[in-house]
Amino acid sequence: MAIYQNLQVWLLLSALTAAPIAAQPNLDWSTVSGQVLDAHGRPVSEATISAFPLDVAISGPMPQGTISDESGRYKLSLPPFTGRTRLSAAKPRDGYPDAQGLLFATGEEKMPIIHLAPRAKLDHVDIVLGPPDGILEGRVVDKATHTPIRNARITLHRGSPESIYSASLPPEGTFVFALPRAPVELSVSAPGYTPWKYSDNKDGGRWLTLSSSDHIQVTVELSRSERDSASPSH
Amino acid sequence: MDSTHNSLISVTNAGKKPTDAVLTFHYNHGQNQYEIRRTIAAGDQLWLNMGDLVRNQLPDVKGRTLPADLTSGTYEIREPGRNNDPSVFEGKIIVDKAYGHLAYGCTTCCADGYPGIQADPDILEWNASDDLYVIAVNSCTGYNDDLTGQFSGWGTDNSSVATMNSNQVTGVGPGTAHALSSGSFNYNNGVSKYCQIRAANPSNVTDVQVPDHIEVLTDVFQTINCGSNPSTQFRTITYRLDDASGNIIRFPVKIRENVPTNLTTSCNGSTVLTGATCYLNTTAVPYTVGEFADGLSPGCPNSPSNSPCGFTFNNQQWQYCPIVGQPTSIGTIGRDVVQNTLISVDGNTIGFPVGTKFPK
């Protein structure tokens, strides 16, 4: 579960923890610190912090790895991106998605936007999370052996606003997402297996919509034959 | 010790000078210690009543007390600084209602166990050097002693992999070698009363790795929220760094992206921030060696009508920046088309399977 939480934010420029900063040679990087809070002002620990430069294109190194401590505090180091840089925090297993991704956006996000300068030090940049979303949790297994499938890929698609999220899964085949109250298509593929698409057990619909109180667990069984199936349960 | 027995321990200084004695009591299967230090005058005797120490919860030199229900344990007596000529001897009395028993023991000298070569890190990068140390555990303190100064004759059994200059080892090629040394040291096995000078030929395995190629570890892409303007795409491909044998590289290395540095994106006119300058892979991902992530994004469009937009470069290549010499290719990816609507890497828009390798 935790592995997949990290996968989700690998898309984004998350940050360096404090300890290695002294060792890293780029003295121009900026330092940003603050606290992750929930909608009631309570600190959120173990949230993964990410940053996305809105006004600059990138190709290359991807800072990653900052997680809030027990008090919800974080400290990260970033290259001095030109223009605006947007911060967010994610903890999918508690219902908090990384709202940098349009697929996970509710429109109620309050992601702080900062302007970085070389060697700047920005403190008290708090990240306030919205109300938690529903949680989709699952694993991908071989239908015949019930063992995790390595090299599986999961893809989520949202029609409005048009957006996609796709990631290779860890060897354990596990995943966890916090999803907004919006219809989402879910599909899983793996080399040598028949692709799988979510289908509602009751009406056969291909859209999955979670309410904020939902916590759905899905076992995706991939078959090497033409048959595939899933067994969602609340 | 129990309700009918007590133990008295005596420590006698038979020397002609005052001496410092340390009694360490071990209990709970050796998991816990209780330590007493005393200076004993010449010819004088120290008596310890174990029953009193337990009942009165008297703290030791570190503030620890013995458990109230303690009934047994072992102990040792040492004289720090007097390795080969201990001047104290100990005796113990088990007091019984009917019988008393006195037994004399001895102290052990303070010296070292058999030494080994310590390397940190235990694996070397090509052309990197590292100091090796001869380390042994002191029988009195339990801590490591550095015996490097007593050892010479340094060398390796495979000079095509690693060479040595005194105690400094340098990796010269991929593979495994043994670092060797010879010398003598003051030996004690922790039991014997006397120390002795012994010869030793410690050795240590030295692995040398050279980054050779990369393979896909994860590939993630998603649509990014750009507010009122059209959304953009972000793709992160994490590569695993391997040596020629397919083993993951186990130390931080410098890498670079061989791309033009004057690229601009049509999404907002910014210069593309690239990894063209050699950087340590652990800079971006602390605590994680053997991998690095390549983030690709054209940035957010600067107006509602500016879509599709982005940048393209023809031959993305990742290079290893060695300690000595010029960067060398570890993976030629191909043509990257980075747009706000789709990101294509060498023609792939759906994500590379884990394990995908690229030609150098």
Q: Where residue B156 sits, what CATH number does that domain have? A: 2.60.40
Which chain B residue has the Cα nearest residue A158?
B223
For residue range B250-275, what is the model confidence (pLDDT) as tens digits? 999 999 999 888 899 999 999 999 99
Instruction: For the domain covering A134-230, report its CATH number.
Output: 2.60.40.1120
B73 pairs with which residues across the strands? none
Per the document, the length of chain B is: 360
Q: Is A149 exposed, middle or buried (0-12, 13-18, 19+ CB in 10 A)?
A: buried
Is A15 in CB contact (< 8 Å) with chain B?
Answer: no
B214 pairs with which residues across the strands? B241
| Interatomic CA distance for residues A178 and A97, integer angstroms | 5
In angstroms, the Cα distances linking B233 to A4, A221, B214, B282 are: 20, 30, 24, 25
State which fold the A2-128 domain adopts: Immunoglobulin-like (2.60.40)
What stretches of chain B show up as alpha helix (H) in DSSP? 50-55, 281-284
Between residues 253 and 282 of chain B, which touch chain A (CB distance below 8 Å)?
257, 259, 263-265, 267-268, 270-276, 279-282
Give the pLDDT of residue B2: 58
Residue ranges covered by each domain of chain A: 2-128, 134-230
Give the pLDDT of residue A10: 31
Nearest C-alpha neighbor of B127 from the set B274, B281, B254, B25: B254
Confirm whether pTM is higher than 0.80: no
Q: How far is A232 from chain B (nearest CA, A)?
A: 25
What is the domain range of residue B282? 213-345
For residue range B189-211, what is the model confidence (pLDDT) as tens digits? 766 667 788 999 999 999 999 99
Burial A83-122 (b: 16+ CB within 10 A, else e): bbbbbbbbbbbbbbbbbbbbbbbeeebebbebebeeeeeb
Q: How far is A165 from chain B (nearest CA, A)?
A: 4
Whether residue A15 has pLDDT greater than 50: no
Q: Do residues B32 and B123 share a domain?
A: no
Token representation of residue B12: 């006698």
Token representation of residue A155: 């893809």
Contacts of A56 in chain B (CB under 8 A): 268, 270-273, 299
Contacts of B235 in chain A (CB under 8 A): 11
Task: Tell me whether residues A58 and B297 touch, CB distance under 8 A.
Answer: yes
Contacts of B222 in chain A (CB under 8 A): 11, 101-103, 163-166
Task: Tell me whether residues B279 and A26 touch, CB distance under 8 A.
Answer: yes
Is B82 among the domain residues? Answer: yes
Q: Do residues B330 and B218 share a domain?
A: yes
Q: Do residues B226 and B283 share a domain?
A: yes
Q: How many domains does chain B have?
A: 3
Topology match between the domains A2-128 and A134-230: yes
Q: Do residues B23 and B97 share a domain?
A: yes
Q: Do residues B121 and B180 share a domain?
A: yes
Helix (H, G, I), strand (E, B) or coil at A66: coil
DSSP string, A150-182: TT-EEEEEETTTTEEEEEEPPTT-EEEEEE-SS
Task: Tell me whether residues A16 and B316 touch, CB distance under 8 A.
Answer: no
Q: Do residues B220 and B340 share a domain?
A: yes
Give the pLDDT of residue A93: 97
Which chain B residue has the Cα nearest residue A3?
B218
Is B64 among the domain residues? Answer: yes
Q: Do residues B140 and B203 share a domain?
A: yes
Rounded to the nearest integer, the mean pLDDT of chain B is 86
CATH number for the domain including B44?
A: 2.60.290
Q: How far is A86 from chain B (nearest CA, A)?
A: 10
Task: Tell me whether residues A62 and B284 touch, CB distance under 8 A.
Answer: yes
Q: Do residues B48 and B144 share a domain?
A: no
- What is the C-alpha end-to-end distance of chain A, expressed in Å? 17
Whether residue B106 has pLDDT greater than 60: no
Is B359 among the domain residues? Answer: no
Rg of chain A (C-alpha set): 19
Which chain B residue has the Cα nearest residue A61?
B294
Token representation of residue A10: 């690998």
Placement of tokens 């899933």 in the chain: A230
For residue range B265-322, what is the model confidence (pLDDT) as tens digits? 999 999 999 999 898 888 777 778 899 999 999 999 999 999 999 999 998 999 999 9
Between residues 299 and 338 of chain B, which touch chain A (CB distance below 8 Å)?
299-300, 302, 310-311, 313, 316, 336, 338
A141 neighbors A218 (Cβ within 8 angstroms): no
Between residues 161 and 220 of chain B, which touch chain A (CB distance below 8 Å)?
216, 218-220
For residue range B38-47, what is the model confidence (pLDDT) as tens digits? 888 877 777 7
Is B229 in CB contact (< 8 Å) with chain A?
Answer: no
A185 pairs with which residues across the strands? A157
Q: Do residues B42 and B57 share a domain?
A: yes
ipTM value of the model? 0.85
Contacts of B272 in chain A (CB under 8 A): 56-59
Task: Tell me whether residues B283 and A20 touch, CB distance under 8 A.
Answer: yes
Is B292 among the domain residues? Answer: yes
Is A62 in CB contact (< 8 Å) with chain B?
Answer: yes
Band of residue A63 on the pLDDT scale cut at 50, 70, 90: confident
Contacts of B301 in chain A (CB under 8 A): none
DSSP A94: G
Is B234 among the domain residues? Answer: yes
Is B241 among the domain residues? Answer: yes
